[in-house]
Amino acid sequence: MGKKQQNTPEFDLVNYAVNLSFDHIDSAARQHVAHLIFDTVGIAIGAYAKGHKSGLITENHSRKVYSCAQGSKLWSGRGHVPADVAALCNGTWAEVLDYQDVVVDPRNNGHAGVTIVPAAFAVAERQGSSGAELITAISAGLEVTLAILKAVGREHRNQGRGFRTTSIASPIGAAIACSKLLGLNQQETLYAMGLAGACAPTGLMPSLAPSNGSFGMDKDWACGLGAQLGVNAADLAHCGMTSSDRVITGELGIVASFAGGDAKALEIPQGGTPNIGAFALKKFAACYGVHSAMEAAIDLMVQNEITRAHISKVIVRVKADSAVTLAGRNISNHMAARFSLPYAVASAVIRGTHSSAEDFEEPSIFDQEVLKFMEKIEIIADADLTEFHKKTGGFPAHVEIHNRGEIQQKEIHYPIGSLQRPMTWDDLSQKFIELTKSHLPETHLQHILQTAQQLLELKDIREFSKLL
């Protein structure tokens, strides 16, 4: 395999991942990763149940070309395909509803589990890996992804470059997780990292541009493609394919290419339990940037027993970039709804505690009562909340409801699902049930929940996948 490239940040990062063991991960982090796996699977099944075109197109084509009797499971329950193809399909489904995990860190944000979990799960299934092995591999992939996101920083946004770091960093995390499940050594894993980094989706976000006015399916497919790339990179490195050993910090590496050449140190984890708390889970099926505002609006309505007919206006203060990128009022489809603060808050006021994934789907997004109420909502960029986000990575929002001459207000710094306010098993179970109940029989659903609770103890992850 050639001489090991030591004394590079990339090698040090790979060395951390290769040497990470289940014993290094504390019980809270283990449980969090198990929750992430469970949550990701449920989101994917829910997306299939709703019949979203991006997932159906990807999966229908894949089944037509690659369907096989023995392989990794499609979470839709529609058969088996090779591991990399399962990662593609399941990763696409997991992104569709925008209900996925979120990286929350002062240096950068993005998504990781939505790509890493489908990739690692497919390989673990192929290998017959245990629940503990899967959790360890995903933990390593998450930590590597976080390190890359922090190294890239926010310059891609500040300079108007618009790259989606999810598509840049997460395929590498997927490759790391898959390499660990395959038992690759440091050099082989370094090659897998290089292959994934060199060939990762560009991460362009034309569908999310505020001026675009329409939303395509590329965002969904890119996450699936990144998962597939992670599997392929690990498999090919295992077979002897080589790559650059400086894909992150090299002269033409990720930091230089995507962060405008502003070199940053790649922080290497120093052993111990991974920083799993940086990966938040979602209570609402929408962009994480709207969650605090939604939660604050719901709390104000319930706690003050406000009658929406008496509301004259709602003022929502958020960090500066959210006030621009999430200010859309043209609700043309489900994607537009998920990335609109006015829609999200209006939906929260009108629907209250009954808020669900259906609120961001057709026909709910065309509810005239909600669309009319959007006219009462004002979005303001707040300097203090912007600074709070820069310092903590949190997604704060301040909501004022003007009601009969009175002002009820509430500020939330960290929404439910964050490290500061994590979702419980009961929360996640309810989310899973709501997403999958139209697709899975009640008895079968309960069996899945019981098995998911024992994920840490499973000797073979196929004990779980066979239920999907």
> CB under 8 Å to 315, separation ≥6 — which residues?
377, 378, 380, 399, 400, 402
Q: pLDDT band at 1, cuts 50/70/90?
A: very low
Query: For the residues 141-166, what does the mean pLDDT come to?
Result: 77
Amino acid 211: pLDDT = 52
Higher-confidence residue of 128 and 334: namely 128
Core vs surface per residue 193-232: b (16+ CB within 10 A) or e:
bbbbbeebbebebebbeeeeeebebbbbbbbbbbbbbbbb
- Regarding whether 248 and 204 lie in a shared domain, the answer is yes
- Regarding whether 344 and 244 lie in a shared domain, the answer is no
| C-beta separation of 154 from 195 below 8 A | no
Amino acid 204: pLDDT = 63
The per-residue pLDDT of the chain, averaged, comes to 91
pLDDT digits (tens, 9 = 90+) for 29-57: 999 999 999 999 999 999 999 999 999 99
The C-alpha atoms of residue 15 and residue 176 are separated, in whole angstroms, by 11
Amino acid 284: pLDDT = 96
> CB under 8 Å to 364, separation ≥6 — which residues?
347, 358, 370
pLDDT digits (tens, 9 = 90+) for 112-145: 999 999 999 999 999 999 999 999 999 999 999 9
The CATH number for 385's domain is 3.30.1330.120
- Regarding whether 397 and 319 lie in a shared domain, the answer is yes
Q: Which of 102, 29, 43 has the alpha carbon at shortest distance from 280?
A: 102
- The answer to which of 216-220, 250-254, 347-351, 413-417 has the lowest mean pLDDT is 216-220
Query: For the residues 338-364, what does the mean pLDDT come to?
Result: 92
- Does residue 126 belong to any structural domain of this protein? yes
- Regarding whether 212 and 63 lie in a shared domain, the answer is yes
- Does residue 72 belong to any structural domain of this protein? yes
| H helices present in 51-164, as ranges | 53-66, 83-96, 113-127, 131-152, 155-158
Tell me the backbone φ, ψ of residue 169, rounded to 5 degrees.
Answer: -90, -40
The CATH number for 167's domain is 1.10.4100.10
Q: Which structural domain, as residue segments, surrounds residue 98?
A: 9-280
- Regarding whether 292 and 251 lie in a shared domain, the answer is no
Core vs surface per residue 119-141: b (16+ CB within 10 A) or e:
bbbbbbbbbebbbbbbbbbbbbb
Tell me the backbone φ, ψ of residue 340, rounded to 5 degrees.
Answer: -125, 115
**Lookup: tokens for 29:** 């982090």
- Does residue 439 belong to any structural domain of this protein? no
pLDDT digits (tens, 9 = 90+) for 371-417: 999 999 999 999 999 999 999 989 999 999 999 989 999 999 999 99
The C-alpha atoms of residue 451 and residue 454 are separated, in whole angstroms, by 5
- Does residue 423 belong to any structural domain of this protein? no
- Does residue 425 belong to any structural domain of this protein? no
Sheet containing 397-403, strands listed edge to edge, beginning at the edge strand earlier in sequence:
377-381, 311-318, 397-403, 406-412
> CB under 8 Å to 176, separation ≥6 — which residues?
14, 17, 137, 140, 141, 144, 189, 192, 193, 230
- Does residue 222 belong to any structural domain of this protein? yes
- Regarding whether 300 and 243 lie in a shared domain, the answer is no
Structurally, the chain folds into a number of domains equal to 2
Q: Which of 280, 299, 317 marks a domain boundary? A: 280
Q: Which of 237, 261, 280 marks a domain boundary? A: 280
- Does residue 271 belong to any structural domain of this protein? yes
Query: For the residues 62-69, what does the mean pLDDT come to?
Result: 94
- Regarding whether 369 and 273 lie in a shared domain, the answer is no
- Regarding whether 275 and 352 lie in a shared domain, the answer is no
Higher-confidence residue of 78 and 215: namely 78
Q: In whole angstroms, what separates CA 409 from the centre of its chain?
A: 30
- Regarding whether 354 and 215 lie in a shared domain, the answer is no
- Regarding whether 136 and 118 lie in a shared domain, the answer is yes
Measured at the CA of 173, the angle between CA 169 and CA 149, to 5 degrees, comes to: 35
- Does residue 220 belong to any structural domain of this protein? yes
